[in-house]
Structure formats: structure tokens, C-alpha cells
Structure 1
């Protein structure tokens, strides 16, 4: 019997039973008041009158009316540039210890997002809550004695002026609690290797030294790592190398597009648990097994607001119009797409993270990620969200028995007509015209606005099939392999031309 595992499992069960939670609405009101109280004497807090907001009868309403929406570029140009210069008490008391580098899914230039000690604590506390939630997943006691492979970005953080900087997964891994370090793989030495290919090769070489019970990381890069480990050991599946692998904690993007190809790397089922960790904070995690939705973290350093996701409220660059209506968690409705707005213990205020979400259970505050504001394709009224795109592609996978883990598209104009040109990452040998017709039909079924657009100005769908590896190479060329890097799903015309030239160049090599 796994004695240590039983002790740990029982401790988690007891802790989970003892934790009494306030309602999400109450928790959010307390978080906002604490944020405002803590930051009232900062430059930002004085400028926007946090003291006066705290004295108002309805703090949430007063806050929304007083402080404008910020995206990264506005926050940096007006406030965070002074934080970077080393000034204190700008948007949060003191100075941040870190800056999280986030190129996100668009552009080559990294964003530099402040990460305070309070945010490090918040991320760690949510991580502990997530571990506590494992008691809900009916895992055997010996699972809690196994090691966890965390495939993030390098923990070898860069010193820039007085700050350390790196991707949030690397910053988080460099702050792992001492009691967890014995379980953490690939370990500090390998995690510091900056070059992705070298790090993965080293993991493959050392893989059989570890008894991995759980994986954690972005699906696309995790899948590549597992393939390298399998290839290096001439194995059939990853369970030939790590026979006790039972859990995969996915994050960064939706797991569903990768599910079919991921399962081919396994010889037995694993429990998939979704998480939502961004450079701006640990936003949500899956708390129970009978759903794929994630519980919004409402009591730990982040205050959330929600803007209904409608074209009238979104600027062309994906930012919010200042007169867009906003609601608190007390007013949200099930199955409605919202733009997520955050205020945090890192000094982000009414900050547009760029994601859209929908509540699957309002009372439990459970959500799913539905897309990105920049990846909303609304040329000629098609109103296609990433969520609708994923639904259509899952239908194609089932119809043709193929995997399509990666894709991108753009609205292109041929002569005087608009088309949606899709690049699908798949090894399936299906005729492109057949795929285009099936995709078009699936999108019509998934989205009534798309169906209307197709009967008018949107003339058709074009499909080009490429290997999924092309998408990984594109990420490597434009940003960096591994870590938090995600593929842009919808491209503007100029970026799409670069993409097409890149694909053509690869074919000619």
C-alpha cells in the first residue's frame, strides 16, 4: 500500500472538507474593496480617486463608471512605462519583482506585464487549491507519490535593470514551494535550458529515470515533447516509458482540438484537467470531473468584469470601446459570450486580457474559454468566434476520421468577392475541395450569422492542407518554441501574406 500517498490524499480530502467558501458574488466584492484599499495611495489610485470609490454606496458601480478600460498598450504607455523605469507606487504599492514576457498569439514583440510578490502568492495559492481539487477525481493513493512533469518556459530568468523577466510559466516554476520540489520534473537544471529543442531532447534522454504520474503544459508543445520521448525510446506509446501516467493538466488553450491526436500517444486513459493560467494571473481551474468547465478563481487577488461579446462593442484592433456596457459576476448569464476584464494584485486595472469566456454554471462560477477578441472574424457579417470554428473542425475530424490539432484562417478578397481561406494542420489525406465543402456546411450549422453571410457577400471557403509541424515552425520563426506560445487562429491580410510566403518557402526546401 502506498502509505505516503494515502497520507497526502487524506490530507487533501480533510482540507477540502474544512474549506468553507463564500459565494462568488461576495468574494468578488471583497476582492475589489481590498484591491482599491491597497492601491488607494498609488499614483493610479490617487488619479482615479480610489478613496472616493470606496466611500460610495455601490463600490462596483462606482469603480466601473470612474476607471476606463485598458488594454496592454494603453496601460503601458500611460502607467507601466514608469514601473519599468523603476518608479515606485505607480499602479500597485512598491515595485514588482518580475515582468512576465508575453508575445501572446499575435506580433513578434513581447509584452512586459508586471508580476508582484502578491501575484506570485496568488498563483501559488490557486495552485494549491487546484491540487486540493484532485480529491474530487477519484485518483488512487499511489498517484500522490508520483512525479509531475511541468513543461513550461525556461526558469532561467533574465535580469533587466532591477527586475527579473521571463514567461509566466517560468516565473511560476522558479517559485515552486520547497515541499513540492521533489515531485517537480524535469527539475531545475533542465528547466533552465532556454533552447526548446535542447530541453526536449534532454527530457527524452532522462525520461526513464522518472516515475511520472502527471503532465502539465500547453497541449501543442506537450504533444511534441511526448512524441520525442516516444521516438527516443523506440516506444509505442508514452505509457511504455511512464506506465503510471494518470493525469494531464492542460492549460493556455482549449484541449479539445488536440484530444484526438493526444489520445493516440497513450495506451490507457488519463484524466484531463483544464487550467487557465495567463501572464496576468491564475484565472480558473477545473474543480470536478463531470465537466470540462473551469471554476473562476473569485477569492484570490483578481476582480473580474464582463462585457457582452458583440461586434458593436469591439474596436478593429480587438480592444473595447469605452462606452461598452459592463456587468459584474452578480449579473452574468449562462451561455453568453463575454469579454473578460480584470483588475489584479499586479496593478492591472479594468484590463482587457483579450479572451472571451462563457459561463456554463453561474452558481458555481464555472466557465469555458470561447475565443479571443482579436480572433473574431466578422468580415461581411460572418461573426465567427474561435469556439464556433472549433465546433466545426471537430465535426470534420469525426466525419473523415482525421486529426486537425492546428489551423489558421483569414478573410481574403479575390477580385470583388470575399472568401475565408483556411489552412488546416492535418496528416489526413482528404481532398481539399471536399474538406472545404464539409467545413462550409459545418459552419453554417454552427452559426446562423455565418449562414446568412454565405448567402450574401461571403462567396465561399478555401482550404489548404499542411502538416501540423508547419504551425510549430511558424511559432519558432516568429516567436519562440514552447512555453506560453500559442498559434494565432485568425490573421489580418498582411500577416496572412507572410504566413502564405512562409508555407511556400517550407514546401520549396
Structure 2
């Protein structure tokens, strides 16, 4: 197996040269990609509607094609689900990724073309390992198995040879045969719908396997790890998998889970690698071991635009190109892809932490914020405040959500939080004060509204009993995969539902 590991790591490192090219020539790469995307769709119904043949530059593209949401593209996608082709993209589309986002209760079906499979999703998967092998020359991950804690949706046939499933199910169904050899458990368990049964089956199937790397959402990885320790009687994962060296995570901010993982995997050599992957595309990979930034991947068949959040509500908002962005400003991400999404707002917000190369951090969602009183509280603010409060009170957070408390008669408004702790703070009132003061430090709008409690009073925090969020997701049929708890909401729906269970 050592020879096989050497061959694979050598192959992965070869990709680093191409990554270095788009780092060195980011705008040239994006310009060429933009032209290729237009060429790939010029004879489609969409391409003819907007006359892609006569678009010669990015400015014409922005002026002619409006910014899209899923709702605006849905009529086209519904026809594609029935088997119609040449609608949004020029090659045949047989696969659709059923999105399980948190901001919309209605499912979304994202077209997955052959190009987006090979040049985006699979390429991103290989690049994760390429970057890891480049950063850790003595990596031994190919001497064992990869445990992928993927989605829980089976692949479903729509009509003829048209199929949909959770993105991980679509990817697994299209992987080359040799990739299955390095995965565990087998596909029959990986794609199970019943997530509780799936966790049990995964634990039993992998407890005696040489697992060297794990990929999955932190929430569900913790659930699996705890079950593994219960069935084996071990105190941490390295007693079960002594050769475990890499954890690949994404979908939610890792900061609240970091202390839990230090207990689950008590090793200073454990490598944590964050990715930014969604049904719509693969966008970023953490390329430095000592940083929480992610390298924006510029050669995956995705053309990027960035909408400043201060212009988000404008009637015809102006987007910026890669060459126009600034550091530490909040942008909504707009993409055009080789899967047929055009000027599509995916709902995420990001900020740039570096412009050479272009590195980013996810700051939240365009719908996941609280701005009931002009405070403009985003997920990034919340995560920083909670991290500091945990650090100073010995707490570890399992999950949380928050929403506004609206004005009532002569009372000021406020924010209502529900927090489920893995390890409770030594003093909950101290925890709330630190959280509140940190929010004031990192968000001047919040600070202004908190002045003498005139518009915002001190946060109201409910400590949730163990299992509250798990049971809430279960009741909504949202266990597993990319399903996650909405962190911030501008309305009270989620908090009111969860409070009835606590």
C-alpha cells in the first residue's frame, strides 16, 4: 500500500502547477472562462433569448442578463427535469442535485452537467487532496480508507434517464470505479435515507476499518464519533483509527466545533481542511494549514461576480468583477456556471481576506442575518462573539439560533437566542455579557442600537436541553447531509418552533 500511496500523492501534487497558474493570472483565467461559458450556451434557448452571440465583454453580459434567483430559473429547470435539453446549457443534462439549504423550505434542483461534474466537483475533490499532499509531504492517507459522511438521499429517477439526488449521492453515483475502493462504508450504507439507522450502520461498518481521513459536516461527524466510542468502548477516535490524519469539513463554520474535535481527536498533528462546496459548485479550498481562509478556485467553470451588500436592496444593483473587490467588505456571491446557472445568486455572503492570491471567508447568508432594528448582525459577527464567550467561560457550543424580539409597547427590542451546549459555561450571565460586549465591539451598528438599551436590550438567551436541535431537525425531516440549523433569521419562525420543544 505504501507504493500506491506514493503514486497517488505524486499524481495529486502535479495539479499544484495548474493551481499556481490561476493564482498568478487570475483575471486572464476568469476572462477565458467567461468566453467559454458563453460559447457553451450560445445555441441554447437561454443563449438565444439574450443573444449570447453578440455579447463581446463582461459589461454587455451584465447589462443584458438580469441577476437570477432559483425562483426565476425554476420554470426552465422544471422543463429540464422532464427531459428537455438545450435550455440553459449546451450539453445533455441528466443529473440534478437536490439542494437542502436552510433558507428555503422548498427543495431546489440544481442542474449538474457532465462539465460541472468533471471540471468542478470532481476537480475540487482532487484538489483538496492535492493541496493537502503538497502541504504535508509525508501524507499517508492512501494507505487506508476515506470515510465520507455524505447526504442521505437515494438517487431518484424523474423521467426516462433523468435523475436527482443529494449532491453527494449524485457524485458517488458518478465516481470512477477505482474511487469506490478507497471509500468506506459501501454505497448501500452511505446513501441510506434513514439517518439514525445510517449512523448506526456506519459505526458498525467502519469501527474495524483503517480510516485515514474523514469528510463531512461537523455536526453529523460528532454524532457518528460519539456512537463509535459507545460501541467500541474507546475514549476518542484515535483509539479506533490510529492512522487518522485528515478531516475535511464544510457547510457550517468550524469554530464552534473546534474544542469538541480536540477532544474527539486529541492530536496536534491532526490536519483540518475547510472547503466551500455546494450543489451549485465548488468554490474554495483552505490552502494554508495555519489559516481559516480559503483560496477562491478560479478554473472550475465558474465565472464570479460580487454584489456589495450595501447595494443588495437596489433595484438594479451593480456587481463587481474580481479586479474590483476590496478587502473585508461583505459581498453576495453571484455565479455563472458550466451547469447552466446564469448570474445566479446562491445566497451566500463572503469577504476577501487576501487579494493576491484571492482568498475568502464565508460571512453568512443573504437571508441569514438580523436587521430588525438597523443592527445588520451577520453570522460572522455572531461566531466571533460566541467564540470569545466560550473561550472566557469554558463553554463548548453544539448548536444555536437567534432571531429578533420586536418592540412591545414601551419596551425596546432585542435578540432572542437558543444555545445548546456541549459543555456549559461556568456562568451563563457572564457568557451573555461577553457575547453582547463582543457584538458591540465587532459591529458598530449593533453597538449604536444597544446604547443605553434604547433600541436593543441585552440579549435573551435560552439554554436548550441536550438533543433539542437534533430533534427539531428530525421532526422537520431534515436529518443528515447538508441540512443544518439556521443561525440567524429576521423572523421568529425557527425560534418559536424550537422553544415549544425545549
Q: TM-score, normalised by structure 1?
A: 0.92
Q: Give the structure 2 partner of residue 474 of structure 1.
A: 472
What SS does structure 2 have at the residue aligned with 1:114?
strand
Distance 1:482 1:87 in 2: 32
Indicate how the Cα distance of structure 1 residues 137 and 94 shifts in structure 2: closer, same or farther if over 3 A, else same: closer
Q: Residues 132-153 of structure 1, C-alpha deviation per residue, up to 9 Å, x if partnerless?
A: 1122322524333121101001
Q: Residues 30-67 of structure 1, C-alpha deviation per residue, up to 9 Å, x if partnerless?
A: 111111011011111111121111xx3xx111111111
- Answering whether residue 314 of structure 2 is matched by residue 326 of structure 1, we say no
Q: Residues 459-487 of structure 1, C-alpha deviation per residue, up to 9 Å, x if partnerless?
A: 23101011462112222222421111121
CA contact (8 A) 1:155 1:188 kept: no
Distance 2:273 2:263 in 1: 18
What SS does structure 2 have at the residue aligned with 1:382?
coil
CA contact (8 A) 1:306 1:338 kept: yes
Question: Counterparts in 2 of 1:428-443, with a 5 A limit?
Answer: 428=424, 430=426, 432-443=428-439
What SS does structure 2 have at the residue aligned with 1:101?
strand
What SS does structure 1 have at the residue aligned with 2:384?
helix
Q: How many residues align?
A: 492
Question: Counterparts in 2 of 1:144-163, with a 5 A limit?
Answer: 144-154=142-152, 156-162=154-160, 163=162
CA contact (8 A) 2:207 2:228 kept: no
Q: Residues 284-321 of structure 1, C-alpha deviation per residue, up to 9 Å, x if partnerless?
A: 112232322111121121111001122x523xxxxxx4
Distance 2:139 2:490 in 1: 50
Report the alpha carbon displacement of residue 159 of structure 1 after superposing the two structures with TM.
1.1
Residue from 415, 421, 424 that aligns with 2:419: 424
Q: Give the structure 2 partner of residue 236 of structure 1.
A: 235
Distance 1:406 1:139 in 2: 36
Q: Give the structure 2 partner of residue 272 of structure 1.
A: 272
Distance 2:375 2:450 in 1: 8
Distance 1:429 1:10 in 2: 47
Report the alpha carbon displacement of residue 450 of structure 1 after superposing the two structures with TM.
0.6
Q: Give the structure 2 partner of residue 91 of structure 1.
A: 88
Indicate how the Cα distance of structure 1 residues 88 and 3 shifts in structure 2: closer, same or farther if over 3 A, else same: closer
Indicate how the Cα distance of structure 1 residues 202 and 367 shifts in structure 2: closer, same or farther if over 3 A, else same: same
Q: Give the structure 2 partner of residue 208 of structure 1.
A: 207
Distance 1:12 1:504 in 2: 50
Indicate how the Cα distance of structure 1 residues 36 and 18 shifts in structure 2: closer, same or farther if over 3 A, else same: closer
Q: Give the structure 1 partner of residue 118 of structure 2.
A: 121
Q: Residues 106-137 of structure 1, C-alpha deviation per residue, up to 9 Å, x if partnerless?
A: 34321112111211112112222222112232
Distance 1:263 1:20 in 2: 32
Q: Residues 182-227 of structure 1, C-alpha deviation per residue, up to 9 Å, x if partnerless?
A: 1111121211322111111011112233101110011111111111
Indicate how the Cα distance of structure 1 residues 141 and 280 shifts in structure 2: closer, same or farther if over 3 A, else same: closer
Q: Give the structure 2 partner of residue 28 of structure 1.
A: 30
Indicate how the Cα distance of structure 1 residues 17 and 161 shifts in structure 2: closer, same or farther if over 3 A, else same: closer
Q: Give the structure 2 partner of residue 43 of structure 1.
A: 45
Indicate how the Cα distance of structure 1 residues 413 and 432 shifts in structure 2: closer, same or farther if over 3 A, else same: farther
CA contact (8 A) 2:142 2:182 kept: no
For structure 1, which segment, 139-148 or 416-425, has the greater mean C-alpha deviation from structure 2 after superposition? Answer: 139-148
Q: Give the structure 2 partner of residue 299 of structure 1.
A: 299
Indicate how the Cα distance of structure 1 residues 11 and 95 shifts in structure 2: closer, same or farther if over 3 A, else same: closer
Distance 1:468 1:325 in 2: 46
CA contact (8 A) 1:86 1:95 kept: no
Question: Counterparts in 2 of 1:172-321, with a 5 A limit?
Answer: 172-269=171-268, 270-310=270-310, 312-314=311-313, 321=314
- Answering whether residue 410 of structure 2 is matched by residue 449 of structure 1, we say no
Indicate how the Cα distance of structure 1 residues 398 and 19 shifts in structure 2: closer, same or farther if over 3 A, else same: closer
What value does the CA root-mean-square deviation take over the aligned residues?
1.9
Distance 2:71 2:204 in 1: 42
Question: Where does the alignment leave 5 or more consecutive residues of structure 2 unmatched?
Answer: none
Distance 1:338 1:44 in 2: 27
Indicate how the Cα distance of structure 1 residues 71 and 18 shifts in structure 2: closer, same or farther if over 3 A, else same: closer
CA contact (8 A) 1:155 1:191 kept: no
CA contact (8 A) 1:155 1:174 kept: no
Indicate how the Cα distance of structure 1 residues 415 and 141 shifts in structure 2: closer, same or farther if over 3 A, else same: closer
Distance 1:474 1:492 in 2: 19
What SS does structure 1 have at the residue aligned with 2:152?
coil
